[in-house]
Structure 1
Amino acid sequence: MSTTRIFVARLAGCAVFDRQGDRIGRVRDVVVVYRRSASPRVVGMVIEIPGRRRVFLSIGRVVSIGAGQVITTGLISVRRFEQRASEVRVVAEILGRRVSLTDGSGEATVEDVAIEQVGPAEWEVGQVFVRRPRTGPAPFGRGATAFVKWGDIREQDRGGRSQSAAQLIQSTADLPAADLASTLLDLPEQRMLEVADELTDERLADVLEEMPEESGVKILARLGDDRAADVLETMQPDDAADLIAKLPDARSEALLDLMESEEADDVRMLLAYDPDTAGGMMTPDPIILSADATVAEGLALIRRHELAPALGAAVCVTQPPYEPPTGRFLGIVHFQRMLRYPPHERLGSILDTQTEPVRATASAAEVSRILATYNLVQVPVVDENHRLVGVVTVDDVLDRLLPDDWRSTDAEDDDDADERPAPRVSTDTSAVTTVPQRVPSRRSPRGRAR
């Protein structure tokens, strides 16, 4: 039998299908068990199914691995994945780990791990791709690489504390921010903090927007004030305000003082409102134009790549000034309406006069009813003088309506959540069900409105 060899770093993120070709989810990690006198045995994979739920897929239910996809029998346990003491996750715990080479040539870093099929439904760790430290001038300042057998390395720390955070970040570079946030939440807390500390400011800002506030506060607590301020001012103002509101008053004020004045002013304005009101939920940087602006100008603004889809759904028209709080709010023009008119048409002549703004003091429930009743993506928010101060988008409302831990992979209720999962063997059919097929994809990460 020819050997099938798959590198785990390339396998992570691959789609998982059943025999009929229906997509079940994506591979997030490979789970192995150490053996005393042999290479680690692969017992299964961690896959993410719709709803951001991470479940265990036994290797016995894998029909084939290859060509950028995994084919299964179509039957999986939908219990949340719970790592056992004897199990090790390759991506989260082995990639990036420092090891010693048994030939006495020194140390190296694990950059990838190959798993090989050694029999029907039997896989084990084969070769390991390692990189030695740089010992002299080398292209790009990196050391030599080599393929070695598992038996030719000795791990310095099986607890994973020596694993390089940079290596884990590299293996998740292509993940959307929402998926990376889910990956970090699945790590032990100390490991999560180490990885977050290595992310760039913009990437960390995107991740914090997708995390529960409690986890975000822990990450901010680890950062120095200067970097925390840089990250906060890169975030959407409403998300930054939610995080700052959870910090001690002294640190909140210190971070606001360090932020750029424009971003800090937006956050301070949001903090002045009750979080369960339109003012507390709104985004204070909608697209704002004058009544004399043309359809062409409006369409040019909503085409910006960095603009969140919900914010690009409409243009707000006001009297000067055009920065919140603006002059008197005149109306809103939805992008579909702009598409029906010639480029030179003035926005003031095609205002939607039926969409009434809400006061900043309106309750979250009232805003939700308006969005649902009139099938809106966003609703303008005005102050007592009818000046535009922001807009509430549908995703702002969803953040309030969903449970606090909806971003967590453990958010979904499970009748046997307190029970230990059944033994993971290919003949186990307890608590096995067919995963719903062709489920719509998750919400894409929010963009920047700057």
Structure 2
Amino acid sequence: MAGGTPRIFVSHLAGIAVFDPNGDQVGRVRDLVVILRVGRKPPRLLGLVVELSTRRRIFLPMTRVTSIESGQVITTGVLNVRRFEQRPTERLVFGELLDRRVRLVDTGEEVTVLDLGAQQRSARREWEVDRVFVRKGRTGTFRRTRGESLTVEWSQVTGFSLEEHGQGAESLLATFEQLRPADLANVLHHLSAKRRAEVAAALDDDRLADVLEELPEDDQIEILGKLKEERAADVLEAMDPDDAADLLADLPEEDKERLLSLMQPADAAEMRRLMSYEEHTAGGLMTTEPIVMRPDSTVADALARVRNPDLSPALAAQVYVCRPPDETPTGKYLGAVHFQRLLRDPPYTLVSSLLDDDLQPLDPEATLPIIAGFFATYDMVAAPVVDETGSLLGAVTVDDVLDHMLPDDWRETEFHLDEDAPAPEKEAGAHGA
């Protein structure tokens, strides 16, 4: 990059693609690494934390970046794929610097950091964070006191080196607004416990519920334990029932009962019913909120339910036809209608005339190997769970089967099979040993 490189604002780098010289994507930017310096010298921008397609996070030194433009980063093609490990002297820009409350040197006024600007020094290949975009006035999770926004020199603010106990998360969340819950969960997992709690507090209940479902068990328990009890109960109610029941089951008995007492009675009863089954059985894996239709419902009715954007693809793959009541446990289970069949028949057709009633539903006590064999044999993505009276209790989806068949720590590892293969030798000056 030439000495006249324009200044970049770091929020524009969140999640953008990283390419090698051949145009092949190698990953996405998840954070930036800086090192603070004594006095009021601008911090050095050391490099980028890049998440590979395998979810491994590596360090990409700025000396290996040849271009940052048009929403993409181009590298020299030389990558050290050793896993990134933050050093004590380093700070993560998204994870630790955005949303901080700092002070203007001249006036002593407290301001909130919204963004940082970085530029390459003309005399050498070194990058510095030399600008700070701040807002005057207080910001909060639910309301904002609007104030003047301005960009100042790094030397004009102070407070970045101090531990902050009430750091917000507004700007950090804005940089990752478009992430899927699983990817945002991965971001949270790599933050410090303090920052993780702040971000969780700033998320709305539905978004936090989606993210919690994708986090490792230890992170789930940690975050839930730092929420106010009333809010923790609300978040549990917003989660998929099977995931919420799994999380509750991992809590100490006293905490579990206290949270259940704060939940709506119907939701609490549902949680207790799910927790009554063994963890690795159909009853323990199922969700109690599949799409249930009455026999006199039409294809048009069923498609309207399937279109619900809050449904997972697996749950939307089929509807279950039952006699009233149509809340689980239902009346007599009659059969399933697959989504593809709904697309092939006229809208006025009754779903009761389209039933696939050949497949035997799962028993709630069916074990994980039996469930996995059922899915593999019949190429299913969801399966009904029916009790001895013929009532539909819920549905098991393929994602829950995989979740329980994979190692307990699968969310914390990369998506590849050669974990034991030695990492390439680290080049001189590279990060991450």
- Relative to the length of structure 2, the TM-score reads 0.91
Which residue of structure 2 lines up, in the alignment, with residue 329 of structure 1? 333
The residue type equivalent to 1:337 in the other structure is R
User: Which of the residues 81, 85, 89 maps onto 1:86?
Assistant: 89
> Counterparts of 1:242 and 1:162 in 2: how far apart (Å)?
31
Q: Residue by residue, what CA displacement relative to the aligned partner does 1:68-93 show, whole Å, maximum 9, x if unpaired?
A: 11112333222221001221111111
**Contact 2:96 2:195 (8 Å CA) reproduced:** no
Going from structure 1 to structure 2, the CA distance change for 1:284 and 1:69 (only over 3 Å counts) comes to same
| Range that drifts further, 264-273 or 155-164 | 155-164
Partner of 2:246: 242
Give the aligned partner of residue 276 of structure 2.
272
CA RMSD of aligned residues (A): 2.6
Counterpart contact for 2:18–2:72, Cα < 8 Å: yes
Deviation string 1:88-112 (CA, Å, 9 cap, x unpaired) is 1111111122223233453322211
CA distance in 1, matches of 2:210, 2:426: 36
Query: Do structure 1's residue 111 and structure 2's residue 109 form an aligned pair?
Result: no
2 CA distance for matches of 1:126 and 1:423? 28
Give the secondary-structure state (helix, strand or coil) at the position aligned to 1:24: strand
- Which residue is 2:4 aligned to? 2
- Aligned residue identity for 1:217: I
Count matched residues: 424
**8 Å contact from structure 1 (residues 54, 409) kept in 2:** no
Is the CA contact (8 Å cut-off) linking 2:363 and 2:385 kept in structure 1? Answer: yes
Report if aligned partners of 1:6, 1:66 keep a CA contact under 8 Å in 2: no
Asked if structure 1 preserves the Cα contact closer than 8 Å seen for 2:245 and 2:274, the reply is yes
Q: Secondary structure at the match of 1:76?
A: coil
SS at match of 1:263: helix
Q: Counterpart of 1:269 in 2: which secondary structure? A: helix
Displacement of 1:176: 2.0
Question: Which residue of structure 1 aligns with residue 209 of structure 2?
Answer: 205
**How big is each residue's C-alpha offset from its partner over 1:267-295, in whole Å with a ceiling of 9 and x where there is no partner?**
11111100100000001111111222221
Find the counterpart in structure 2 of residue 390 from structure 1.
Answer: 394
RCO higher in structure (CA 8 A, sep ≥6): 1
Task: Please say if 1:20 is aligned against 2:57.
Answer: no
Query: Which of 69, 81, 84 is the equivalent residue of 2:72?
Result: 69
**Equivalence for 2:36:** 34
Matched to 1:52, the amino acid is R
- Name structure 2 gaps, 5 residues minimum: none
Contact residue 97 and residue 160 of structure 2 kept, 8 A: no
Residues 133-212 of structure 1: pairs in structure 2 closer than 5 A: 133=137, 141-155=145-159, 157-159=161-163, 161=165, 163-212=167-216
Query: What corresponds to 2:309 in structure 1?
Result: 305
In the alignment, structure 1 segments of 5+ residues that lack a partner are 432-450
Partner of 1:438: none
2:148 and 2:167 map into 1 onto residues whose CA distance is 19
Q: 1:266 to 1:424 in 2, by over 3 A?
A: farther
Q: Distance in 2 between matches of 1:309 and 1:188?
A: 33
Work out which of the residue numbers 129, 135, 140 in structure 2 matches 1:131: 135
Tell me the SS of whatever aligns to 1:358: coil
- Greater mean deviation of Cα atoms: 281-290 or 159-168: 159-168
Describe how 1:90-101 pairs up with structure 2 within 5 A.
90-101=93-104
Whether contact under 8 Å (1:93, 1:160) holds in the other structure is no
Q: Which amino acid aligns with 1:75?
A: V
Give the Å deviation of 1:347: 1.6
1:25 Cα deviation (Å)?
1.7
Alignment CA distance shift 1:140-1:228 (3 Å): closer
- The reply to whether residue 52 of structure 1 matches residue 55 of structure 2 is yes
State the AA in 2 paired with 1:153.
V
**Cα 1:396/1:96, change in 2 over 3 Å:** same
Q: Take 1:96 and 1:303, find their aligned partners in 2: how far apart are those partners?
A: 38
> What is the distance in 1 between the residues matched to 2:427 and 2:25?
25
TM-score (norm 1): 0.87
User: Contact 1:290 / 1:318 at 8 angstroms: preserved in 2?
Assistant: yes
User: Do the aligned partners of 1:60 and 1:425 also contact (CA within 8 Å) in 2?
Assistant: no
Aligned counterparts of 2:302 and 2:73: Cα–Cα separation in 1:
45
Deviation of 1:248 after TM superposition, in Å, equals: 1.5
The correspondence for 2:377, drawn from 360, 373, 380, is 373
What percentage of residue pairs aligned between the two structures are identical? Answer: 49
2:316 aligned with 1:345, yes or no? no
The 8 Å contact of residues 58 and 81 in structure 2, kept in 1 or not, is answered as: yes
Please list the CA deviations of residues 325-384 of structure 1 after superposition, one character each: whole Å capped at 9, or x if unmatched. 112211111010111111122222221133221100000111111111111110111112
Q: CA deviation at 1:201?
A: 1.5
The residue type equivalent to 1:311 in the other structure is L
Distance 1:72 1:269 in 2: 53
Offset at residue 415 of structure 1 (A): 4.0
For residues 259-298 of structure 1, the aligned pairs below 5 Å read: 259-298=263-302
Q: Which amino acid aligns with 1:80?
A: R
Which one-letter code corresponds to 2:350 in the other structure?
R
Identify if the C-alpha distance between structure 1 residues 183 and 341 changes in structure 2 by more than 3 Å, giving closer, same or farther: same
CA distance in 2, matches of 1:259, 1:140: 30
Q: Deviations over 1:95-149 (max 9, x none)?
A: 1222232334533222110111225743211211122236xxxx96322222111
SS of equivalent to 1:75: coil
